[in-house]
Amino acid sequence: MASFDMVILGGGTAAVAAATQADEMGATVALVNSGLPLGGTCVNAGCVPSKALLQAAEVLHQARHHGIPGLALDVTELDFARIVQGEQDLVKALRHQKYEAVLPELANVTVIDGRGRFFGPREVAVNNQVLSAGKVIIATGSTADIPPIPGIADVEYLTHIEALALKDLPERLLIIGGGPLGVEFAQMFARFGSQVTLLQRADSIVPAAERELTRRLTEVLTDEGITIETDVRVESVRQAGTRKVVTYRTDAGRAELDVDAILLAAGKTPNTQHLWLTEAGVQVDRHQAIVVDAHLETSQPGIFAIGDVSNRPVRENPTAGREGTLAAENALAGTTHAIDYDHVPTTVFTDPQLASVGVTEAEQLRRTGTSDCRTLTFDNVPKAVITRRTEGLITWSSTQPPTGSWASTCSPPTPARSSPKP
């Protein structure tokens, strides 16, 4: 049995941040990684490759739709396979630079390639070896959900991992699910030339975001030729030769759609199933996410969970990294660092981007019973008018009204919206 001050399960951003902090504190660390290569989802199959393709698609779109009088640009080449290869070369370079070359420089960190599982609250089994740990941090991430749609197991579908490695551009692409992944991929593939349809079960394409902003983003995406249906129930999928036929129902009735490819963007499930958490006394919720307190500690003292595997709010890569740093310090030094997730900025990398900080109007109303929400459209912003990018808008919500020239309320007044209007 090998003994370490800390064992970290996972090899993504959160895990490496925790290992780096623990190394700086002089602790011996075993970092146990399986599944995706070092770097986890973000660098290998998430933010890095998707943003590279989004940037290429934006350059293509701006060349064709810049709106500047007297300027005409020709796109002389669109080689989708080469664009994807460039994206994958970038992933490989960044994975080496940020992870593969960094971890060997940490004198107190031992990287073990293998799947770890608990053998007890302070013991982790991996590769027929048991590791004894003073503290444990779980950072095993999440995996794309496969929704229980009849017939889905009998057709070839894509998750974000396969979609980011496609060499041939689908002529007709169906995306099942919205959220950041669904809307980013919808715009990206549409700008490259795919005919994209997005089916969303909820009544908003990004349910967690401010409704006024998602309404405008829906208009932008629709104007770019993307078909968007909300309040949809997908009933079945079947193969028809080389095509896939999807049957779904909306308020208008039942419809069928014939497509070349299906991309699933229906959420993620935390990777907890193979950890044997009951052996460690670690509690999970109904979504299989590990329950943690404000200090990222689980129901078992000395075991912490960070990143997508925990039940904390959905976070972006920098927040996961911050969780890793704080969890390592809390575990080793007994500190009680916490993150106020209400004040963590978030971004959906469409064009224009859907960015926010703080809580939505609906959440403000739920918490306090009152909210004053105002909207500023970009046709009132001189720089936006000059650059011909007036499609965006800003909303502001508080229990106190804003000052200045903010315009209309975000939604129809309700009895709870009791603060005065300027």
Closest to 332 (Cα-Cα) out of 29, 85, 33: 29
Query: What is the per-residue pLDDT across 290-307, written as a single tens digit (0 to 9) for each?
Result: 999 999 999 999 999 999
Calculate the average pLDDT of the chain. Answer: 93
Query: Cα separation of 9 and 131, whole Å?
Result: 12
pLDDT for residue 413: 40
The distance of Cα 336 from the centroid of its chain, to the nearest Å, equals: 27
> Going from the N-terminus, what domains does the chain have, and what CATH number goes with each?
2-144+269-342 (3.50.50.60), 152-266 (3.50.50.60), 359-422 (no CATH)
Q: Which residues contact 272 (CB under 8 A, 6 or more apart)?
A: 138, 140, 284, 288, 289, 290, 309
- Classify strands 253-259 and 243-250 as parallel, antiparallel or unpaired: antiparallel
Q: What is the CA radius of gyration of the chain?
A: 23
Closest to 138 (Cα-Cα) out of 324, 356, 375: 324
pLDDT for residue 410: 66
pLDDT for residue 179: 95
pLDDT for residue 6: 98
Closest to 180 (Cα-Cα) out of 354, 27, 59: 354
pLDDT for residue 12: 95
Average pLDDT over residues 80-88: 98
Supply 387's token pair: 């650059």
**Type of residue found at 259:** V
Query: What is the per-residue pLDDT across 263-282, written as a single tens digit (0 to 9) for each?
Result: 999 999 999 999 999 999 99
Query: What is the per-residue pLDDT across 385-407, written as a single tens digit (0 to 9) for each?
Result: 999 999 999 998 887 766 655 55
Confidence of residue 416 (pLDDT cuts 50, 70, 90): very low
Query: Cα separation of 355 and 79, whole Å?
Result: 31
pLDDT for residue 402: 60
Burial class (CB in 10 A: 0-12, 13-18, 19+), 221: buried
- Confirm if 97 and 16 have CB atoms less than 8 A apart: no
pLDDT for residue 421: 35
pLDDT for residue 422: 30
pLDDT for residue 407: 53
Residues for the chain: how many in total?
Answer: 422
Query: Cα separation of 162 and 88, whole Å?
Result: 12
Confidence of residue 313 (pLDDT cuts 50, 70, 90): confident
Query: Is it the case that residue 415 has pLDDT exceeding 90?
Result: no
Task: Give the three-class secondary structure for 348.
Answer: strand
Q: Which residues contact 146 (CB under 8 A, 6 or more apart)?
A: 152, 153, 157, 264, 266
Confidence of residue 373 (pLDDT cuts 50, 70, 90): confident
Q: Which residues contact 68 (CB under 8 A, 6 or more apart)?
A: 388
Query: What is the per-residue pLDDT across 197-242, written as a single tens digit (0 to 9) for each?
Result: 999 999 999 999 999 999 999 999 999 999 999 999 999 999 999 9
Query: Is it the case that residue 124 has pLDDT exceeding 60?
Result: yes
Query: Cα separation of 135 and 189, whole Å?
Result: 44
Percentage above 70 pLDDT, the chain? 94
Query: What is the per-residue pLDDT across 16-66, written as a single tens digit (0 to 9) for each?
Result: 999 999 999 999 999 999 988 999 999 999 999 999 999 999 999 999 999
- Around 200, how many Cα atoms within 13 Å sit in the side-chain half-sphere? 21
